[in-house]
Structure 1
Amino acid sequence: MATSDPTIKLVPVLPGDFPALARLEAAVFGETDVGEVGFGPDRNSDAAMDQRAIILGAPPKLGETVRNMKLVRVGPAGDEEIVGYAGWVICIGRTGSEEEKKKLGTRESWAVQQDPGPEPFGPGADVKFCVDVFVRADEHMARATEGKDYAKLRMLAVLPKYQRMGLGAMMLEEGLREADKLGLQSILGASPYGIGLYRRHGYIDFEAMEFKLWEYERGKGMGIAKHVVMHRPAVAHQGI
């Protein structure tokens, strides 16, 4: 799918883009219940954005490659605005024992994951909540891969004022073409906002996750957040 807006183009992310991508992510997800409960009142602070930019721009773990694409809108004066972002992790050639292969990535990258640092989810984040949401989702995704190579969509985001223009589908389809060319299955964790899009592109529900937000420190009076870990089987490469 291509956008009908000729001023918007899909291009690779540059090293200097990650601060802007951190702000874009905050604009899309920061004001949701999950954003509020998980990351607190300082989630949009300069310190939080700086740390998030570092995380987004971190080099890939051993055995992985990162594929980051951005949607750029070019204004009348030639000025550019990043309006969307798709971040993929590609893992090919997994090594180690069968037990180790159940983890995302290779044996070496699993070892790296064991030391997340003092603030693995950013300043002021609710670590228990983030573990329940993000780490548990990774565990479900690892089970879905069955120890085989994969493409993981770690983020797909479009600024609110540019949503419902087919831009999310455009980014998703571009990444899936790459996954299909490599003969890779794909995994992701979907919020309620993206489940329909992913199902239309061949993803199947693998594990439903429900979080009783009122059980967490900043979730008093809130309801249930529902996410789904999804899996798309590999498509045989036809040599095109």
Structure 2
Amino acid sequence: MAIPSLAPLPPIAILPATTPDFYAIAALEGRAFEHDEVCTVAYGPNRHSHANLLHREKTLGSQPKEKGARNIVTKAVLIGQDGKEEIVGAAGWSFHLGREDGTAEEEKGSEEGGKGEELENGSGGWGEGANVKLCEDVFLGAEKIIVGSTEGRNFAKLNTLVVSPEYQRRGIGKMLIEDGLKEADRMGLQAVLGASKEGLGLYKKLGFKEVEVMEIKVWEYEGGEGMGLDTHAIMHRPAKTV
């Protein structure tokens, strides 16, 4: 269902994603981040393989072990004139509750060494052929900063945001984030995320501010020879009451 970039989009609905959607979302992530140097090196030359897509499918459908936490994945569905539906974007959120009354301490989850992101990737696995060193430095390193920025209070975290390359810069990403923020605001939660430089402008418009910027020297990692410097910004949005 190819839509010219300047043509009006058909109706788009933001809906809960379920198990049958996760493989398609995993494949969509691969296409959307095809030319991202960090993802290229982190997940390796086999990142588009059926085995790795199945691995990602499983992690998208998993729930964190931290007590009081839950994951939610939503999808942006484009509905064509013929009634057919196409997934053109997705967002994954985790909501971490019970931290302020101490109940979350029974399951350490993301508190120790950034294990929340590790759990999201399948009990510490990053997929077949992944660069473990880069994944740990960037993703687990970011998780430590993110958790630290919440100062022990409950929070909502954007784990992933992806929009089909054919539909980017059409407001779909904004719709997906706003949908998650509505839930965060309903529960009175602060929100946190890790942002690429391409997403900074959008996140700032939605009330996020930079906490810390990580510099990633991609060329220092195996498979990243000749690549450049990338940045990953940890961002925070205060809790709002509605």
TM-score, shorter chain, exceeding 0.5: yes
1:163 counterpart = 2:162: no
Please give the alpha-carbon distance, in whole angstroms, between the structure 2 residues aligned to 1:119 and 1:183.
31
Work out whether residues 10 and 80 of structure 2, in 8 Å CA contact, stay in contact via their aligned partners in 1.
no
Please give the alpha-carbon distance, in whole angstroms, between the structure 2 residues aligned to 1:224 and 1:144.
24
Work out whether residues 10 and 81 of structure 2, in 8 Å CA contact, stay in contact via their aligned partners in 1.
no
Please give the alpha-carbon distance, in whole angstroms, between the structure 2 residues aligned to 1:185 and 1:65.
15
Could you tell me which amino acid in structure 1 is paired with residue 205 of structure 2? Answer: R
1:184 counterpart = 2:189: yes
TM-score normalized by structure 1? 0.88
Quote the offset at 1:106 in angstroms.
4.5
Work out whether residues 60 and 73 of structure 2, in 8 Å CA contact, stay in contact via their aligned partners in 1.
no
- In structure 1, what is the equivalent of residue 152 of structure 2? 147
- In structure 2, what is the equivalent of residue 138 of structure 1? 143
Quote the offset at 1:95 in angstroms.
6.6
1:110 counterpart = 2:109: yes
Stretch moving more, 130-139 or 160-169: 160-169
1:232 counterpart = 2:231: no
Q: Deviations over 1:148-202 (max 9, x none)?
A: 0000000111111111111111111111111111110000000111111001111
- In structure 2, what is the equivalent of residue 91 of structure 1? 96
- In structure 2, what is the equivalent of residue 33 of structure 1? 37
Work out whether residues 94 and 107 of structure 1, in 8 Å CA contact, stay in contact via their aligned partners in 2.
no
- In structure 2, what is the equivalent of residue 121 of structure 1? 126
Q: 1:79 aligns with which of 64, 81, 84?
A: 84
Work out whether residues 219 and 226 of structure 2, in 8 Å CA contact, stay in contact via their aligned partners in 1.
yes
Go from structure 1 to structure 2 and tell me whether the alpha carbon gap of 1:106 and 1:65 turns closer, same or farther (over 3 Å shift): farther
Instruction: Say which SS state the counterpart of residue 168 (structure 1) adopts.
Output: helix
Instruction: Say which SS state the counterpart of residue 192 (structure 2) adopts.
Output: strand
TM-score normalized by structure 2? 0.87
- In structure 1, what is the equivalent of residue 64 of structure 2? 60
Please give the alpha-carbon distance, in whole angstroms, between the structure 2 residues aligned to 1:27 and 1:124.
18
Work out whether residues 64 and 109 of structure 2, in 8 Å CA contact, stay in contact via their aligned partners in 1.
no
- In structure 1, what is the equivalent of residue 202 of structure 2? 197
Go from structure 1 to structure 2 and tell me whether the alpha carbon gap of 1:162 and 1:213 turns closer, same or farther (over 3 Å shift): same
Work out whether residues 12 and 79 of structure 2, in 8 Å CA contact, stay in contact via their aligned partners in 1.
yes
Identity %: 44
Q: Deviations over 1:115-161 (max 9, x none)?
A: 86786111100000000110000000011000000000001111111
| Correspondence list, 1:202-217, <5 A | 202-217=207-222
Q: Extract unaligned runs of 5+ from structure 1.
A: none
Work out whether residues 92 and 161 of structure 2, in 8 Å CA contact, stay in contact via their aligned partners in 1.
yes
Instruction: Say which SS state the counterpart of residue 175 (structure 1) adopts.
Output: helix
Q: What root-mean-square deviation, in Å, do the aligned CA atoms of Structure 1 and Structure 2 show?
A: 2.2
Work out whether residues 191 and 226 of structure 1, in 8 Å CA contact, stay in contact via their aligned partners in 2.
yes
State how many pairs are aligned: 228
Go from structure 1 to structure 2 and tell me whether the alpha carbon gap of 1:142 and 1:107 turns closer, same or farther (over 3 Å shift): farther
Go from structure 1 to structure 2 and tell me whether the alpha carbon gap of 1:96 and 1:109 turns closer, same or farther (over 3 Å shift): farther
Please give the alpha-carbon distance, in whole angstroms, between the structure 2 residues aligned to 1:6 and 1:151.
30
Work out whether residues 191 and 227 of structure 1, in 8 Å CA contact, stay in contact via their aligned partners in 2.
yes
Work out whether residues 63 and 106 of structure 1, in 8 Å CA contact, stay in contact via their aligned partners in 2.
no
1:44 counterpart = 2:48: yes
Quote the offset at 1:35 in angstroms.
1.5
Please give the alpha-carbon distance, in whole angstroms, between the structure 1 residues aligned to 2:34 and 2:70.
27
Go from structure 1 to structure 2 and tell me whether the alpha carbon gap of 1:121 and 1:11 turns closer, same or farther (over 3 Å shift): same
Q: Deviations over 1:79-132 (max 9, x none)?
A: 2110000111001112787xxx9xxx6441428949867861111000000001
Please give the alpha-carbon distance, in whole angstroms, between the structure 1 residues aligned to 2:164 and 2:76.
10
Q: 1:9 aligns with which of 4, 9, 13?
A: 13
Instruction: Say which SS state the counterpart of residue 107 (structure 2) adopts.
Output: helix
Instruction: Say which SS state the counterpart of residue 48 (structure 1) adopts.
Output: helix
